[in-house]
Structure 1
C-alpha cells in the first residue's frame, strides 16, 4: 500500500502505533480501531511516499479504515502489489522491498512469525482481538512517547494494566473434542493452516490445566 500527499507522514502518525518520524527507515507498527482492536500489523517504509507493507487480503480493510481520515490530510491511498523479502536474524523479523541475499521463503516465514507470537494479520483475523491477545511485543510495535494515535487509550491500558497471569498458547492439529476442551478453560484467538497442519492460538487465565490436557499438541507458549 502507498500513501501519497504532502501531509502523509502527519496523517499516518495519527493512525499507526509506532513513531514513523524516527530515523529508522523501516518501522513496525500496528493499525488499530478506536476500541484497540487490531486492523493489521504493518511495516512502514518512509521514502518520498509512505509504503505500508501488509498482507494482500487485509489491504481493502485497512484502506477503508484509513479513508475515514485521509480526506482531512488530502492524502491518497493506493493498493499496490510488490515483492517483499523477509529476513530473520535470530532476534528480529525484517521486511523490505529490496531484494535480500538471504530471504526466508514464505512458508517458513509464516511459521516462524506464528511461533514467535508475531503473526502477520490476515483478513479473517482483522478487527477481532487486541494486541496483547496476539502476543505482539508492545516495545517493538508501540511508541508511548509520541502524540495521539487511533486506539492509543486502550493500548496504553494494556501496558499499564497488562494481562496478569495470562498465557498465550499455540496448539497444532487439534480435533473437535480437543478444541471444545480448550474453549471451556480459555479463549480462541485464531486458527491458521500452514504446511497442511492446523494451528490454533488460545489465551488462558490459568495455563496449567490446558498444558496437562494437551501437552503433546503444544507448539509454543508465552506468558503475558
Structure 2
C-alpha cells in the first residue's frame, strides 16, 4: 500500500521553449532525452556540490519540483544560462504531494487524500537516504556525502553537464571509506571507542515526534558523550544486505 504525504513546502519551476531540453541537459545529472516522463536528477555547480536534487516532469515543457526554500537558487542558476537559449524560466506554486511504496519515494503534481505530513516525509526520506535538499544544505555537499544512490540520479551515457567530472570521479574512486549513517536525536558529533571524533555531520531534522541526525562516516562502533549509539539507518548495513 502506498502512503501519501502533503508537501506544501514544495514548488515548481517551469522551463518552456524550443531549447528547454538543451538548457536542462547541460545542468542536470539525469538524461532528459530518454523516452519517459518522470526523472530524478541533481543540479550541481562546477565543483560537484549539489545545488538541489529535483524531480523533472517532461511534457510539452519541463516542470521541476524542488523545496521552496531552495527554488530561488536553482531559478537564478537556470536564468543565468537561459539567456543563451530560446526558452523561459518561471516559478509556479502548484499543489504537490509525495508518495511512498516499497521504500520508493516519488513526488507528483495534483491533489490527493494525504495520510502523512511533510515532516514525516522528511524523516522517512532521510532514513532512506533520499532527503530533499533545503536552503541550508544547498552548495555544501556532494552526492556521496548525502548518501544518494548514484544510479537513481546519474546518467553515464549523456553528454556534458555541470559537475559531471566530479561525479564521475566519485563513482570510480573504488572502495568507499565513508558512507551515510543516521542516528536518533540531535547530535553534534560522534566518536569511536577511544573517544576520537569521527565523521562529518550532514543533516539534522527536528520534529515533535523525534529528531534525526545524519553523518558521513567510516564503518565503526559509534559513541556520543561516552555512550555507544546504534544507527537507525546505515548504508554500511544496507550494502551488506545486497
**Fold conserved between structures, TM > 0.5:** yes
Residue 9 of structure 1, aligned match among 21, 28, 43: 21
Choose 3-12 or 164-173, whichever is displaced more: 164-173
For the 8 Å contact 1:113–1:119, the answer to whether it is kept is yes
Paired residues for 1:1-224 under 5 Å: 1-100=13-112, 104-162=116-174, 164-174=176-186, 179-182=188-191, 184-195=197-208, 197-210=210-223, 213-216=227-230, 218-223=231-236
Compute the displacement of 1:166 (Å).
Answer: 1.7
Cα shift readout 1:118-155 (whole Å, capped 9, x = no counterpart): 00000001000001110111101000011111100000
Structure that is richer in helix per residue: 1
**Mapped partners of 1:196, 1:127: distance in 2:** 29
Select the structure that is richer in strand: 2
| TM-score normalized with structure 1 length | 0.89
When structure 1 is superposed on structure 2, of 114-123 and 93-102 the one drifting more is 93-102
In structure 2, the gaps of 5 or more residues are 1-12
RMSD, aligned CA? 2.2
Residue range with higher mean Cα deviation, 191-200 or 95-104 = 95-104
Segments of structure 1 that go 5 or more residues without pairing to the other structure are none
**TM-aligned CA distance change 1:180 to 1:107, over 3 Å:** closer
Secondary structure of residue in 1 paired with 2:40: strand
1:102 Cα offset (Å) = 6.8
The residue number in structure 1 matching 2:3 is none
Q: CA-to-partner distance for each residue in 1:173-207, whole Å, 9 max, x for gaps?
A: 235xxx34448211111222233533221111242
